[in-house]
Structure 1
């Protein structure tokens, strides 16, 4: 029998992810807050656009969400017209939103009461990773549900791991964002120093990228940072949302994140410079402005 998947949320990530499922031969129904986007997706892929969440999730084997934040998850999951009330017993609900661990735990409990399974599965890899089917996915939930969901998520994943019970995927994504924040600030300072020291910055990157300083950020973002090009990638607004989640969770677990808190404020400076939609590597522009 063909596996039926309802995909809720067709943003820059969800749109290609749902496409990979359709291309793999799964029966895909999509819903998006903006109905035009769902209609456009259905015109490009083998799948159906639905007018409501209730219609999309009815009789679905898997329901996958990729929306904006906690408040959006509450909107699509809860209430009489939401996912939990309308998806069948036995359905596996997979959420790719970067959100709080608390909302993952809340939705897992609510889904369990309806004999559904919930997996929090935030992703890393950005829009390019979604388009190429090469995302890293960090999951929280029951092992049995994860094993059933693994073949579905594998259609757009490069790496896929169960990290623990509900909420563990979100906490792992927080670790990822904390690490990235420090790396991007360090790379920004390094490139800024090279510029101020009147070095050939590209030659510097070519040399140091072969040693211990190498990172994904250096390999994929140093060139555009040098050129001052930031109209791509993961937006500053989204990063501030994620870092806010990290800092809130850190207070709950008594973790000290002084560098993360500082970089979060640096991103606030970038926002005030008009860079709300710039890529996160735009931290270097702040250094250039305030030198």
Structure 2
């Protein structure tokens, strides 16, 4: 997958002075970089941390042009000092524990009453674990994974699924609105992560079905763009069809969420399913299909690359 750090489409916007907050953002990856950028564009005082310091410095250089009140810190603890809200988006459970609960983690720098909002797609167990750790320190932890991909982050159109305390959610929602089109409390701690798992289950099945449909159309010699234009107006319509079907037919897989990341997410889903007794036969099968794509060298292709198993000469 090709990722783009630069986000030239994010422009400064006018917000009331009383709405401005001191915030921090931990993790400037494909998603975090533009999400933090939207916070800067809204006029908030933003301190960022990234494991690779050069990327944090690059972010400050870019967004200081529209907001002079931005800077980067050398540790999550330093970034979190004085912040009312600390947002984070890192890789996995272990990364999340490291940037929050370690000696130099954000919790060590946060003042009583501050809120940590975790946008990582992680396990529900780690969300509950860190919620308990935060509570003991007088802090609040919200699990808040996102859907919408890199484009959604850059356009400020993410869907955010939250788990945790209602009062903390109410404090965070107006601030998070700058990078989201929906910011919804789903229940207690862990409910955000569980909702994201439902999202990934649905996507896995839809992308596999679409892959088979497009591959069938190609084998049948049909005009795929014309087919998609027709069937997307009926019951087969989906976001994946509207945005990925035509490029799938062209073998283009450089548009979003990488296969490696989807396999991480599906691993979380399948583990949770074993714990709670849910039967996920299609999800388990699609997870193995993504393993086939990895074996083809498609680790960083986006998730629509499932079709490659059905159309590439090496497909099994």
Question: Matched residues in 1 for 2:93 and 2:79: separation?
Answer: 21
Q: Are 2:36 and 1:13 aligned?
A: no
How many pairs are equivalent? 291
Partner of 1:243: 266
Question: Matched residues in 1 for 2:190 and 2:291: separation?
Answer: 27
Partner of 1:274: 297
Shift of 1:243: 0.2
Q: Are 2:171 and 1:148 aligned?
A: yes
Partner of 2:12: none
Cα deviation 1:143-164 (Å, max 9, x = unaligned): 1110001011111001111000
Question: Matched residues in 2 for 1:99 and 1:132: separation?
Answer: 23
> SS at the partner of 1:166?
coil
Question: Matched residues in 1 for 2:151 and 2:72: separation?
Answer: 24
Question: Matched residues in 2 for 1:254 and 1:76: separation?
Answer: 32
> SS at the partner of 2:252?
coil
Alignment of structure 1 residues 157-176 onto 2, 5 Å: 157-176=180-199
Question: Matched residues in 2 for 1:270 and 1:246: separation?
Answer: 19
Cα deviation 1:52-72 (Å, max 9, x = unaligned): 222111111001100000010
Q: Are 2:54 and 1:36 aligned?
A: yes
Question: Matched residues in 2 for 1:57 and 1:167: separation?
Answer: 23
Partner of 1:4: 22
Q: In the alignment, is the contact (CA less than 8 A) between 2:75 and 2:105 conserved in 1?
A: no
Q: Are 2:137 and 1:96 aligned?
A: no
Shift of 1:233: 0.7
Q: Are 2:74 and 1:63 aligned?
A: no
Alignment of structure 1 residues 253-264 onto 2, 5 Å: 253-264=276-287
Q: Are 2:248 and 1:221 aligned?
A: no
Shift of 1:226: 1.0
CA RMSD of aligned residues (A): 0.9
Shift of 1:79: 2.1
Give the gaps of 5 or more residues in structure 2: 1-17
Cα deviation 1:135-193 (Å, max 9, x = unaligned): 00000001111000101111100111100001000000000000000000000000111
> SS at the partner of 2:151?
helix
Shift of 1:232: 2.2
Structure 1 residue corresponding to 2:148, chosen from 125, 128, 138: 125
Question: Matched residues in 1 for 2:226 and 2:76: separation?
Answer: 52
Structure 2 residue corresponding to 1:81, chosen from 93, 100, 104: 104
> SS at the partner of 2:201?
helix
> SS at the partner of 2:236?
coil
User: Which aligned segments of 4 or more residues in structure 1 are displaced greater than 3 angstroms?
Assistant: none
Question: Matched residues in 1 for 2:130 and 2:48: separation?
Answer: 21
Cα deviation 1:220-254 (Å, max 9, x = unaligned): 00111011011221100000000000000001110
Q: In the alignment, is the contact (CA less than 8 A) between 2:78 and 2:106 conserved in 1?
A: no
Compute the TM-score of the two structures, normalised by the length of structure 1.
0.98
Shift of 1:3: 1.0
